[in-house]
Amino acid sequence: MAERDDVGTVPGTVRGAGGLVALEGAVAVTVAIVLVVRGLLGHDQSQASGYGTAAWFVILGGAVLAAGVGLLLGHRWGRAIAVIAQLLLLPVVWSLLTDSHQPFYGALLGVVVVGALVLLFTPATSRWMAREYGIDTD
C-alpha cells in the first residue's frame, strides 16, 4: 500500500481541502502563541487559564495543521483527521451564529468548515481514497 500518490494524481479537491484545513490549524496555533504572550505579559487570567488553553490549542491545532499539510502533500491519513476536525467545528459554528452573538465569525468559520467538508467528500476525493484499497472506481 502506497501512503502517498504521485503529485500529479492528487485531485485538486484534496489539495483545496488541505489548504482550508491547514489554515484552520495555523489559526489555532497562532491563537496559542497569542495566549502564551498575553500570559507572559501578565494579562488578567482569572476567567480562563491562558497557558492551559494555549496548550489545548497547540495540541489540537497542531494535529489539524499536520492533517492539512498531509493532504496538501498527498497523504491519505490527513483526511480522517480533517473530517473529524470539521465535524467538531460544526457546533462551534452554530454557537457563534446563535448564543455567542458573533454572526460574522460564525458565518466565516461556517463557510470554511462546510467548504472543507464538501471538498473532503466529493467524488474525486472518494475515488482517490479508494485507490489505496485497490478499488477501481473508473
- The x, y and z cell numbers of residue 80, run together, are 480522517
**Successive 10-residue mean pLDDT values, the chain, 138 residues:** 58 97 97 90 73 92 97 96 97 95 96 98 94 75
- The x, y and z cell numbers of residue 75, run together, are 497523504
The count of C-alpha atoms lying within 13 angstroms of the C-alpha of 43, restricted to the half-sphere facing its C-beta, is 11
pTM value is: 0.87
- The x, y and z cell numbers of residue 130, run together, are 479508494
**Quick one: 61 exposed, middle or buried, by C-beta within 10 A (0-12, 13-18, 19+)?**
buried
In Å, what is the CA distance from 91 to each residue of 7, 19, 95, 99, 106? 34, 22, 6, 11, 10
d(CA 78, CA 19): 12
